[in-house]
A and B are shown apart, each in its own frame.
Chain A
Amino acid sequence: MAPLRSLVCFCEGVTTEDVDRALEEGFRDLESLKRRLRVGMGPCQGRYCIPMLISYLSRRLGVPPERLAPPRVRPPLEPVPARLFLGVGDEG
């Protein structure tokens, strides 16, 4: 039987063990963890995994969750077909 794994990020298959390893490497802020582990870089754009990661980090680091800044939100908020951008905006 495959060992049980605790997933933090479903889109990219990131586990709590992965997070622990990154913490040992010195990556402690969410922007770095996102780029080291790809947490929040899948189609959900962090909607599900970032709150879970904040909750996990808060317990691991003993820091209140409100002190852990979530990664900066990049537009669009959810995947949008590229065709919607054709012919919009003030092209110079």
Chain B
Amino acid sequence: MRAEVVVVGGGITGVAVAYFLAERGFERVVVFERSYLGSGSTFKCAGGIRASFTSREHIVLMKRSIELWGELSRRLGIKYARSGYLWLASREEDLERLKRYSSIHNQFGVSTRFVEPGEVEEMAPALDTSRLVGALYDPLAGKASPFDAVHKLYLASREMGVEYRFEEVGKILVEGGAARGVASSGGITEAESVVVAAGVWSRQLLEPLGVSLPVEPEPHHAALTEEYGRLFDPLIIDLESGAYAVQTFHGHVLMGVEIPEQPSWEPGERLAFLSKVVRVWSKWLPWLPSANILRYWVGHYEVTPDHHPVLGPVGSIENLFVATGFSGHGFMMGPVVGEELASWVASGAPRTEEAAHLTLRRFEEGRLIKELAVIG
């Protein structure tokens, strides 16, 4: 069978691309996943979703992604809540930063606003506000369950005829300057187009084709407490350390913070992370020291020099597309990336002008995008 489109990678990006291709009427879409769905970076992420960025590209695309999260949640029953983001400042300098961010958000139509301690206590009853100097609230932001999102996009796309093969793609086949399929552990699959959505590992797939993706595997750690009743609704961010915490749909508190790390393909667990994340969050959540830590894991951000993704045609090879380099924002962008890539494959152009700014070409031309608010 000759496929219309082969998608390499069964994380949020791959299943979303497959879903939107099927919705456009593609009948022969094959997704390759070498391990299990979500096994790369998606299932290690916190599930936060926001448009409160500080670049036009991120804001415009994420506003569309949030619309799609709402639609997908209604249509497929994905666990998703517009429960907000709350940025916490405990120092004057952090409050000044929040004011700068907020004015950029508002300028692009994302209505973040400063909230008083009383309102903070209503939305986050388990938070100690005594150190609070200021708090910025983003009511458009929210969270979704990564497991539920990937599994339901998989089930819905499978229902629409997408085929999933649990095989490793070793090679992208190119002939006469155009992609013509992939070689996997199960043999050769010919295709009219190939979409590489293999997270940071996309780099290794494209390297033999002379395509150099500027993505680095940056280790990021996360830990999870046992489950509790309602503690706080929004995802909370400590501006001083960049740490985040979110209460999952099941009631666990999922926390992350950056520690000094070098790029690594196989990062290990670090006691220093647990120590720092508990110390930072105990300042805002004074009950945390007596809460139990249930699980701890390490994943990747696939980081580009400008913290924006690489989307769309590879350029030097026809019919070859890529979607990676999300720098920690791949899950939240999943739906809009699925829609944009499906448009690119179907019609040769993205749906949104801003997506066209994010092709690989910007690195060759030195037109990087500026983003100030990268967290966790």
Contacts and interface: CB of A to CB of B under 8 A. Distances in A.
Interface of A: 25-27, 29, 31-32, 35-36, 38, 43, 45, 74-76, 79-83, 85-92
Contact of A35 (B147, B274, B291): B147
A75 B294 CA distance: 8
Contact of A89 (B35, B39, B43, B270): B270
A82 B297 contact: no
Q: Interface residues of A: mostly helix, strand, loop or mixed?
A: loop
B292 A82 contact: yes
Given A25-B155, A26-B158, A92-B259, A86 B296 contact: no
A36 B151 CA distance: 7
B225 interface: yes
A70 to B, nearest CB: 13
Nearest to B281: A82
Interface stretch (B52-60, B128-136, B282-290): B282-290
Given A26-B164, A79-B226, A85 B151 contact: no
18 contacts: A35-B147, A36-B147, A43-B292, A43-B294, A45-B294, A74-B296, A75-B295, A82-B282, A82-B290, A82-B291, A82-B293, A86-B278, A87-B275, A87-B279, A89-B270, A89-B273, A90-B272, A92-B259
Interface residues of B, number: 38
Contacts of A89: 270-276
B36 A32 contact: yes
B186 interface: no
Contact of A85 (B39, B155, B259, B278): B278
Given A35-B147, A91-B272, A81 B164 contact: no
A85 B269 CA distance: 13
Contact of B282 (A25, A31, A74, A86): A86
Interface in B288-323: 288-297
Contact of A91 (B37, B39, B276, B294): B276
Nearest to B290: A81
Given A29-B36, A88-B275, A43 B226 contact: yes
Q: 4 smallest A-B Cβ distances: which pairs?
A: A89-B271, A83-B289, A79-B292, A89-B272
